[in-house]
Protein backbone atom coordinates (compact mmCIF):
# COMPACT_ATOMS: atom_id res chain seq x y z
CA UNK A 1 0.00 0.00 0.00
CA UNK A 2 1.37 3.40 -0.99
CA UNK A 3 2.34 5.66 1.95
CA UNK A 4 1.45 8.83 0.07
CA UNK A 5 -1.47 9.24 -2.30
CA UNK A 6 -2.76 12.18 -4.27
CA UNK A 7 -5.78 12.78 -6.45
CA UNK A 8 -7.25 15.78 -8.23
CA UNK A 9 -10.96 16.55 -8.20
CA UNK A 10 -12.11 19.38 -10.47
CA UNK A 11 -8.59 20.77 -10.37
CA UNK A 12 -8.43 20.51 -6.56
CA UNK A 13 -5.63 18.48 -4.99
CA UNK A 14 -6.22 16.06 -2.12
CA UNK A 15 -3.29 14.27 -0.49
CA UNK A 16 -3.04 11.46 2.04
CA UNK A 17 0.09 10.37 3.86
CA UNK A 18 -0.60 7.29 5.93
CA UNK A 19 2.73 7.21 7.81
CA UNK A 20 2.10 10.63 9.36
CA UNK A 21 -1.68 10.25 9.46
CA UNK A 22 -2.21 13.49 7.56
CA UNK A 23 -4.83 14.53 5.04
CA UNK A 24 -4.38 17.73 3.03
CA UNK A 25 -6.73 19.75 0.89
CA UNK A 26 -5.03 22.21 -1.44
CA UNK A 27 -1.84 21.78 0.58
CA UNK A 28 -3.41 22.51 3.97
CA UNK A 29 -4.29 20.06 6.73
CA UNK A 30 -7.94 19.05 6.96
CA UNK A 31 -9.97 16.48 8.84
CA UNK A 32 -13.05 14.49 7.87
CA UNK A 33 -16.27 14.28 9.90
CA UNK A 34 -19.36 12.23 9.25
CA UNK A 35 -21.91 14.94 8.59
CA UNK A 36 -25.12 13.51 10.04
CA UNK A 37 -23.47 11.88 13.05
CA UNK A 38 -20.16 13.31 14.27
CA UNK A 39 -20.64 16.88 13.00
CA UNK A 40 -24.27 16.90 14.13
CA UNK A 41 -23.23 15.68 17.59
CA UNK A 42 -20.58 18.40 17.79
CA UNK A 43 -23.12 21.14 17.03
CA UNK A 44 -25.78 19.55 19.26
CA UNK A 45 -23.34 19.59 22.16
CA UNK A 46 -22.59 23.29 21.71
CA UNK A 47 -26.32 24.01 21.58
CA UNK A 48 -26.95 21.95 24.70
CA UNK A 49 -24.34 23.95 26.61
CA UNK A 50 -25.06 27.46 25.28
CA UNK A 51 -28.59 27.38 23.89
CA UNK A 52 -30.00 27.47 20.36
CA UNK A 53 -29.82 31.24 19.94
CA UNK A 54 -26.17 31.29 20.99
CA UNK A 55 -25.38 28.51 18.51
CA UNK A 56 -26.98 30.53 15.72
CA UNK A 57 -24.70 33.48 16.46
CA UNK A 58 -21.63 31.27 17.03
CA UNK A 59 -22.09 29.40 13.73
CA UNK A 60 -22.68 32.62 11.83
CA UNK A 61 -19.61 34.28 13.34
CA UNK A 62 -17.45 31.20 12.80
CA UNK A 63 -18.62 31.03 9.19
CA UNK A 64 -17.78 34.69 8.64
CA UNK A 65 -14.30 34.34 10.11
CA UNK A 66 -13.48 31.21 8.14
CA UNK A 67 -14.66 33.02 5.02
CA UNK A 68 -12.24 35.83 5.77
CA UNK A 69 -9.44 33.26 6.17
CA UNK A 70 -10.27 31.72 2.78
CA UNK A 71 -10.28 35.15 1.16
CA UNK A 72 -6.86 35.94 2.63
CA UNK A 73 -5.44 32.66 1.29
CA UNK A 74 -6.56 33.41 -2.26
CA UNK A 75 -5.84 37.15 -2.14
CA UNK A 76 -2.22 36.32 -1.34
CA UNK A 77 -2.03 34.41 -4.63
CA UNK A 78 -2.30 37.75 -6.45
CA UNK A 79 -5.14 36.61 -8.66
CA UNK A 80 -8.05 38.81 -9.67
CA UNK A 81 -11.31 38.46 -7.77
CA UNK A 82 -13.19 37.41 -10.92
CA UNK A 83 -10.80 34.52 -11.43
CA UNK A 84 -10.89 33.48 -7.79
CA UNK A 85 -14.68 33.43 -7.76
CA UNK A 86 -14.75 31.47 -11.01
CA UNK A 87 -12.99 28.40 -9.56
CA UNK A 88 -14.21 28.59 -5.94
CA UNK A 89 -17.49 26.71 -6.64
CA UNK A 90 -15.50 23.69 -7.90
CA UNK A 91 -13.22 23.80 -4.87
CA UNK A 92 -16.18 23.87 -2.47
CA UNK A 93 -17.90 21.07 -4.37
CA UNK A 94 -14.73 18.93 -4.14
CA UNK A 95 -14.63 19.59 -0.38
CA UNK A 96 -18.20 18.33 0.10
CA UNK A 97 -19.70 21.75 0.75
CA UNK A 98 -22.38 21.29 -1.89
CA UNK A 99 -22.88 22.31 -5.51
CA UNK A 100 -22.44 26.11 -5.58
CA UNK A 101 -23.40 28.37 -8.46
CA UNK A 102 -23.43 32.15 -8.85
CA UNK A 103 -26.83 33.11 -10.20
CA UNK A 104 -25.91 36.81 -10.12
CA UNK A 105 -22.52 38.41 -9.65
CA UNK A 106 -21.73 42.12 -9.92
CA UNK A 107 -18.45 43.05 -8.26
CA UNK A 108 -18.85 46.71 -9.16
CA UNK A 109 -22.02 46.87 -7.08
CA UNK A 110 -20.56 44.49 -4.49
CA UNK A 111 -23.56 42.18 -4.87
CA UNK A 112 -24.12 38.52 -5.63
CA UNK A 113 -26.73 35.80 -5.45
CA UNK A 114 -25.52 32.22 -5.16
CA UNK A 115 -27.32 28.91 -4.91
CA UNK A 116 -26.09 25.85 -3.03
CA UNK A 117 -27.48 22.36 -3.45
CA UNK A 118 -26.94 19.56 -0.96
CA UNK A 119 -24.58 21.45 1.36
CA UNK A 120 -23.33 19.88 4.59
CA UNK A 121 -25.06 22.44 6.80
CA UNK A 122 -28.49 21.59 5.42
CA UNK A 123 -27.76 17.90 6.01
CA UNK A 124 -26.92 18.60 9.65
CA UNK A 125 -30.02 20.78 10.10
CA UNK A 126 -32.16 18.10 8.48
CA UNK A 127 -30.64 15.45 10.78
CA UNK A 128 -31.47 17.69 13.76
CA UNK A 129 -35.08 17.81 12.64
CA UNK A 130 -35.02 21.59 12.17
CA UNK A 131 -36.56 23.69 9.42
CA UNK A 132 -34.05 26.56 9.40
CA UNK A 133 -31.42 27.13 6.73
CA UNK A 134 -28.56 27.45 9.20
CA UNK A 135 -26.23 30.43 9.52
CA UNK A 136 -22.72 29.11 8.91
CA UNK A 137 -22.66 29.12 5.10
CA UNK A 138 -24.36 32.51 4.80
CA UNK A 139 -21.85 33.97 7.25
CA UNK A 140 -19.00 32.16 5.45
CA UNK A 141 -19.75 33.62 2.03
CA UNK A 142 -20.31 37.07 3.59
CA UNK A 143 -16.86 36.81 5.19
CA UNK A 144 -15.27 35.58 1.99
CA UNK A 145 -16.69 38.44 -0.09
CA UNK A 146 -15.82 40.96 2.67
CA UNK A 147 -12.22 39.80 2.52
CA UNK A 148 -12.00 39.79 -1.26
CA UNK A 149 -13.71 43.16 -1.75
CA UNK A 150 -12.18 44.92 1.24
CA UNK A 151 -15.50 46.10 2.70
CA UNK A 152 -18.25 44.71 4.88
CA UNK A 153 -20.60 42.38 3.03
CA UNK A 154 -23.55 40.72 4.70
CA UNK A 155 -26.10 38.13 3.64
CA UNK A 156 -29.65 36.89 3.80
CA UNK A 157 -31.09 33.53 2.81
CA UNK A 158 -33.79 34.29 0.25
CA UNK A 159 -34.88 30.73 -0.53
CA UNK A 160 -34.53 27.44 1.30
CA UNK A 161 -35.94 23.94 1.01
CA UNK A 162 -34.77 20.65 2.38
CA UNK A 163 -35.83 17.01 2.22
CA UNK A 164 -34.11 13.85 3.34
CA UNK A 165 -32.20 13.51 0.07
CA UNK A 166 -32.11 17.03 -1.37
CA UNK A 167 -31.59 20.59 -0.18
CA UNK A 168 -31.47 23.96 -1.90
CA UNK A 169 -30.74 27.45 -0.68
CA UNK A 170 -30.15 30.83 -2.24
CA UNK A 171 -28.00 33.41 -0.49
CA UNK A 172 -27.97 37.10 -1.38
CA UNK A 173 -24.80 39.07 -0.59
CA UNK A 174 -24.79 42.87 -0.35
CA UNK A 175 -22.91 45.79 1.28
CA UNK A 176 -24.02 46.39 4.86
CA UNK A 177 -22.73 47.86 8.13
CA UNK A 178 -23.86 44.65 9.83
CA UNK A 179 -21.05 42.40 11.02
CA UNK A 180 -20.82 39.31 13.23
CA UNK A 181 -19.25 41.51 15.89
CA UNK A 182 -22.45 43.58 15.96
CA UNK A 183 -24.54 40.41 16.12
CA UNK A 184 -22.45 39.02 18.96
CA UNK A 185 -22.65 42.31 20.85
CA UNK A 186 -26.41 42.49 20.33
CA UNK A 187 -26.78 38.84 21.36
CA UNK A 188 -24.75 39.38 24.53
CA UNK A 189 -26.71 42.52 25.37
CA UNK A 190 -29.97 40.67 24.78
CA UNK A 191 -28.85 37.82 27.01
CA UNK A 192 -27.68 40.27 29.67
CA UNK A 193 -30.99 42.10 29.54
CA UNK A 194 -32.88 38.82 29.79
CA UNK A 195 -30.74 37.83 32.78
CA UNK A 196 -31.28 41.24 34.40
CA UNK A 197 -35.03 40.99 33.79
CA UNK A 198 -35.11 37.50 35.30
CA UNK A 199 -33.10 38.64 38.31
CA UNK A 200 -35.32 41.67 38.76
CA UNK A 201 -38.38 39.43 38.65
CA UNK A 202 -36.79 37.06 41.17
CA UNK A 203 -35.89 39.98 43.46
CA UNK A 204 -39.38 41.45 43.14
CA UNK A 205 -41.02 38.10 43.91
CA UNK A 206 -38.69 37.52 46.82
CA UNK A 207 -39.33 41.04 48.09
CA UNK A 208 -43.08 40.46 47.96
CA UNK A 209 -42.64 37.18 49.84
CA UNK A 210 -40.50 38.85 52.50
CA UNK A 211 -42.87 41.76 52.85
CA UNK A 212 -45.75 39.35 53.27
CA UNK A 213 -43.75 37.42 55.85
CA UNK A 214 -42.85 40.61 57.69
CA UNK A 215 -46.48 41.70 57.73
CA UNK A 216 -47.47 38.33 59.16
CA UNK A 217 -44.73 38.30 61.79
CA UNK A 218 -44.47 41.95 62.74
CA UNK A 219 -46.81 43.72 65.14
CA UNK A 220 -48.85 40.67 66.22
CA UNK A 221 -52.05 41.31 68.15
CA UNK A 222 -51.87 39.30 71.40
CA UNK A 223 -54.89 38.51 73.62
CA UNK A 224 -53.55 38.81 77.18
CA UNK A 225 -56.86 38.53 79.04
CA UNK A 226 -60.50 38.38 78.09
CA UNK A 227 -61.35 41.62 76.38
CA UNK A 228 -57.77 42.97 76.47
CA UNK A 229 -55.39 42.92 73.48
CA UNK A 230 -51.78 44.05 73.21
CA UNK A 231 -49.96 44.85 70.00
CA UNK A 232 -46.31 46.01 69.82
CA UNK A 233 -45.44 48.96 67.61
CA UNK A 234 -41.86 48.48 66.45
CA UNK A 235 -39.53 48.80 63.50
CA UNK A 236 -39.84 51.06 60.48
CA UNK A 237 -43.18 52.01 59.04
CA UNK A 238 -44.19 53.07 55.57
CA UNK A 239 -47.73 53.91 54.52
CA UNK A 240 -48.47 50.35 53.41
CA UNK A 241 -47.31 48.83 56.69
CA UNK A 242 -49.17 51.50 58.68
CA UNK A 243 -52.41 50.70 56.84
CA UNK A 244 -51.83 46.98 57.33
CA UNK A 245 -51.15 47.51 61.05
CA UNK A 246 -54.41 49.42 61.49
CA UNK A 247 -56.40 46.80 59.60
CA UNK A 248 -54.97 43.92 61.64
CA UNK A 249 -55.62 45.70 64.94
CA UNK A 250 -59.27 46.43 64.13
CA UNK A 251 -59.86 42.93 62.81
CA UNK A 252 -58.39 41.42 65.99
CA UNK A 253 -60.69 43.55 68.18
CA UNK A 254 -63.75 42.34 66.29
CA UNK A 255 -62.66 38.69 66.26
CA UNK A 256 -61.78 38.64 69.96
CA UNK A 257 -64.70 40.86 71.00
CA UNK A 258 -62.14 42.96 72.85
CA UNK A 259 -62.93 46.17 74.72
CA UNK A 260 -59.36 47.46 75.08
CA UNK A 261 -56.32 47.63 72.81
CA UNK A 262 -52.91 48.43 74.30
CA UNK A 263 -50.45 49.87 71.78
CA UNK A 264 -46.96 49.15 73.11
CA UNK A 265 -44.47 51.66 71.63
CA UNK A 266 -41.50 50.47 73.71
CA UNK A 267 -39.72 49.46 70.50
CA UNK A 268 -40.04 52.94 68.97
CA UNK A 269 -36.82 54.94 69.45
CA UNK A 270 -37.85 58.00 67.48
CA UNK A 271 -41.39 59.22 66.86
CA UNK A 272 -41.96 60.56 63.35
CA UNK A 273 -44.99 62.03 61.64
CA UNK A 274 -45.97 58.76 59.97
CA UNK A 275 -46.05 56.86 63.28
CA UNK A 276 -47.97 59.66 64.98
CA UNK A 277 -50.45 59.74 62.11
CA UNK A 278 -50.82 55.96 62.33
CA UNK A 279 -51.41 56.07 66.10
CA UNK A 280 -54.05 58.75 65.64
CA UNK A 281 -55.76 56.74 62.92
CA UNK A 282 -55.66 53.52 64.93
CA UNK A 283 -56.93 55.08 68.15
CA UNK A 284 -59.75 56.92 66.40
CA UNK A 285 -60.78 53.75 64.54
CA UNK A 286 -60.66 51.71 67.76
CA UNK A 287 -62.91 54.23 69.50
CA UNK A 288 -65.36 54.17 66.59
CA UNK A 289 -65.94 50.44 67.03
CA UNK A 290 -66.49 50.85 70.78
CA UNK A 291 -63.12 49.85 72.22
CA UNK A 292 -60.66 51.83 74.36
CA UNK A 293 -57.14 52.53 73.01
CA UNK A 294 -54.22 52.73 75.45
CA UNK A 295 -50.62 53.70 74.69
CA UNK A 296 -47.82 52.07 76.70
CA UNK A 297 -44.04 52.20 76.73
CA UNK A 298 -43.42 55.92 76.36
CA UNK A 299 -39.98 56.39 77.89
CA UNK A 300 -38.81 59.75 79.35
CA UNK A 301 -36.55 60.22 76.32
CA UNK A 302 -39.37 59.51 73.89
CA UNK A 303 -41.73 61.73 75.83
CA UNK A 304 -39.21 64.60 75.73
CA UNK A 305 -38.73 64.16 71.98
CA UNK A 306 -42.49 64.15 71.40
CA UNK A 307 -42.82 67.37 73.44
CA UNK A 308 -40.12 69.09 71.39
CA UNK A 309 -41.87 68.08 68.17
CA UNK A 310 -45.23 69.26 69.45
CA UNK A 311 -46.74 65.77 69.40
CA UNK A 312 -49.72 65.68 71.75
CA UNK A 313 -51.37 62.46 72.94
CA UNK A 314 -53.29 64.04 75.81
CA UNK A 315 -56.59 62.56 74.60
CA UNK A 316 -55.21 59.06 75.14
CA UNK A 317 -54.42 57.04 78.20
CA UNK A 318 -50.60 56.78 78.20
CA UNK A 319 -48.37 54.74 80.50
CA UNK A 320 -44.62 54.45 80.89
CA UNK A 321 -44.61 50.64 80.86
CA UNK A 322 -46.70 47.83 79.46
CA UNK A 323 -47.16 46.48 83.01
CA UNK A 324 -48.86 49.66 84.14
CA UNK A 325 -51.08 49.67 81.06
CA UNK A 326 -52.16 46.06 81.63
CA UNK A 327 -52.98 46.76 85.29
CA UNK A 328 -55.06 49.76 84.24
CA UNK A 329 -56.91 47.77 81.61
CA UNK A 330 -57.60 44.95 84.09
CA UNK A 331 -58.95 47.46 86.61
CA UNK A 332 -61.19 49.00 83.99
CA UNK A 333 -62.60 45.55 83.29
CA UNK A 334 -63.43 45.18 86.98
CA UNK A 335 -60.70 42.61 87.54
CA UNK A 336 -57.49 42.54 89.47
CA UNK A 337 -54.22 40.63 89.36
CA UNK A 338 -53.24 39.06 92.70
CA UNK A 339 -50.37 36.87 93.77
CA UNK A 340 -51.25 33.25 94.32
Tens place of pLDDT per residue across the chain (340 aa)? 567 888 888 778 889 988 888 889 888 898 888 988 999 998 889 888 878 778 888 888 899 999 999 999 888 888 999 999 999 999 999 888 999 999 999 999 999 999 999 999 999 999 999 888 999 999 999 999 999 999 999 999 999 999 888 999 999 999 988 776 665 555 556 555 666 677 777 877 787 777 676 665 566 888 988 889 999 888 777 788 888 888 888 999 999 999 999 989 888 877 777 888 888 888 889 889 999 999 898 888 777 777 777 766 667 788 888 888 888 888 887 777 677 6
Is-contact 188 196, C-beta < 8 A?
no
pLDDT in tens, 287-322: 899 999 998 988 887 777 777 777 666 677 888 888
Give residue 109's pLDDT: 94
Cα dihedral value 268, 274, 276, 280, nearest 10? -130
CA distance 265 to 235: 10
Q: Is 202 helix (H, G, I), strand (E, B) or coil?
A: helix
Where does residue 134 rank: exposed (0-12), middle (13-18), buried (19+ CB within 10 A)?
A: buried
Amino acid sequence: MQEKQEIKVSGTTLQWERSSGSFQFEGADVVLFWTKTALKTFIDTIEEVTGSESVRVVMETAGYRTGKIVSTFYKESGQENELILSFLPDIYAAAGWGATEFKKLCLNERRAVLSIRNDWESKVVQAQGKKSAGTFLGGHWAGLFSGLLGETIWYKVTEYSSTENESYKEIELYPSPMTPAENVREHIQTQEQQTITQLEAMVENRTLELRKMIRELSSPVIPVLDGILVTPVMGRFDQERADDFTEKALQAIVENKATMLILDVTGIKAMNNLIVSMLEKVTQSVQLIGAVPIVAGISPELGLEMTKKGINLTDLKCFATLKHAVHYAVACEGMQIIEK
